Amino acid sequence: MSVVGMAKRLGSSLAQLERLTRPVDPEARRALERRWAELPSHVRTPAQTLGRMAVGCEGTHGVFPRCNFTCTPCYHSRDANHVRVDGAHTVREVERQVAFLRSVRGPHAHTQLIGGEVSLLSPDDHAAALLAIRRHGREPMSFTHGDFSYEYLERLALGPDGRPRFRRLSFAAHFDTTMRGRQGLRRAASETDLNPYRQRFCEMFKRLRAEHGLRYFLAHNMTVTPANVEEIPQVVRDCHAMGFNMFSFQPAAFVGDERRWAEDYRLLDPDYVWAKVEEGAGARLPYEVFQTGDLRCNRTAVGFYVKDRWYPVLDDQDEADLAARDAFFTYLGGVHWNAPFPLLVLRLARVLAANPALGSLALKWLSRTLRRAGGAKKVLRALASKEVVPMTFVMHRFMHAKDVAPAWELLEQGRLADDPRLLEAQERLQACFYAMAHPESGRIVPACVQHAVLDPQENQELRQLLPLPRRPQANPSRQAVP
């Protein structure tokens, strides 16, 4: 090869490396800017993560509506349980929805594989749906009631050749006393009764990791009602070290199947629910450092446990921490944190090389955080005994269908409501963090709109398309493995 040829080849390889190690993908940057421009002004705060760090969460819909539990409340419409579980339909629809999300919302996001109960899918169909989500640049998370066997999990995790088909699995597991149907505990009298089931769920993933090397991320979801709100602190105290890295609390809303509305959910005050979570964590949970959409919808506190005490990664009452947050958004907003590790290191190195002051900012933040957590010695000792656990607390408040339907109808007409309650619903919908895709109409809608407005019709149509078989369907998650 001539010298000119070699120089050209070298130049093109360097250009490729330059593109690959850019801290933020230009397409991701454009998607973030679009999301920021769409946000209503009341949520464009210095703490807002939408449009700065992420485009928001995504969820599937209408891909496997059926569930084998009967919870009170249930967000699915009354027809959902008359729809057959059909793996081919699931995989095809997931593929369509995520391809559309990819085209509109850019190359990276977190997508929830959600609908009815995910473990009613065969392990292979479940895996195919997760792989479809990954193919479109998304980090999938399966939503489950957690009542499946280790054999099911292993068959999901391993391909036909017996080797892992994923590097990591993420699950959000719903455990609380509003649920009916768990094997061995059809109906829990108290949240504490569910602890062995929570523990068993986490143990399955520890075993999977030990036997097959798969990493995992587990979130614990709990629907909060007036009947179980007082039990939140005990749930957090009992379960924070089981293996979960997120506790998400959903105050119940009047949405979905009205036959399953059991109490007056309007009695749930968000400040009271959050105070109960704080009581369990043994700490104030600063939720205004990172804002995800509208604070009336979401509260998020990011931190970690050292033994039995939780500490925030950033304290909203510390000006230096807020400055660190601002620098994080400015210089690292849009970085794809799930990129392969060596690539991530190179990208971060480029950010640091261009902004050397970030190094000392990061070191000062680390020293403040260690001091808050009791000092480096204490944290290191806890690390050695595996008693440092990253933990994010979330509260997500779905809205009542009665408010969402008229609020959305007016928004569709381009009108803002006069009624303050509907206006609040509109503001929250406009700042929604949790989106669902409709490729057939080219729309992306808030999950509240999906559940309150679109699900009933969609499930009626699915009931026609996928009628239940005459004989009951076998449940793959409970079948014995040959």
Under the rule (CB under 6 A), what is the footprint of ligand SF4? 293, 297-298, 396-399, 428-429, 432-434, 446-448
CB of 390 to ligand SF4, least distance (A): 23
Cβ atoms within 10 Å, residue 21: 15
Q: Can you say whether the dihedral through the CA atoms of 448, 453, 458, 463 is positive or negative? A: positive
Give me the residues paired with residue 113 across strands.
142
- Give CA–CA dist 394/301, Å, rounded: 7
Cβ proximity to ligand SF4: between 246 and 373 the closer is 246
Residue with tokens 């999906």: 450
Cβ proximity to ligand SF4: between 90 and 298 the closer is 298
297-316-218-82 Cα dihedral, nearest 10 degrees:
0
- What are the backbone dihedrals phi and psi of residue 13, each rounded to the nearest 5 degrees, phi first? -65, -40
Cβ proximity to ligand SF4: between 116 and 446 the closer is 446
Angle in degrees, CA 218, 147, 57, rounded to 5: 40
CB of 412 to ligand SF4, least distance (A): 15
Is the Cβ–Cβ distance between 90 and 125 less than 8 Å? yes
- The residue among 166, 53, 167 whose CA lies nearest residue 106 is 53
Structure tokens at 7: 């120089």
CB of 81 to ligand SF4, least distance (A): 22
CB of 40 to ligand SF4, least distance (A): 12
Cβ proximity to ligand SF4: between 178 and 298 the closer is 298
Is the Cβ–Cβ distance between 81 and 460 less than 8 Å? no
CB of 103 to ligand SF4, least distance (A): 21
The percent of the chain in helix, strand and coil, each rounded to the nearest 5, is 50, 15, 35
- Give CA–CA dist 403/15, Å, rounded: 53
CB of 452 to ligand SF4, least distance (A): 9
Residue with tokens 């749906």: 129
Cβ proximity to ligand SF4: between 397 and 463 the closer is 397
CB of 252 to ligand SF4, least distance (A): 12
C-alpha distance from residue 437 to each of 60, 63, 462 (Å) = 7, 12, 16
Output b/e per residue, 241-267; b: 16+ Cβ within 10 A.
ebbbbbbbbbbbbbbbbeebbeeebee
CB of 475 to ligand SF4, least distance (A): 29
Cβ proximity to ligand SF4: between 157 and 255 the closer is 255
Is the Cβ–Cβ distance between 389 and 379 less than 8 Å? no
CB of 122 to ligand SF4, least distance (A): 29
Cβ proximity to ligand SF4: between 120 and 302 the closer is 302
Cβ proximity to ligand SF4: between 436 and 462 the closer is 436
Cβ proximity to ligand SF4: between 281 and 436 the closer is 436
Amino acid present at 89: H
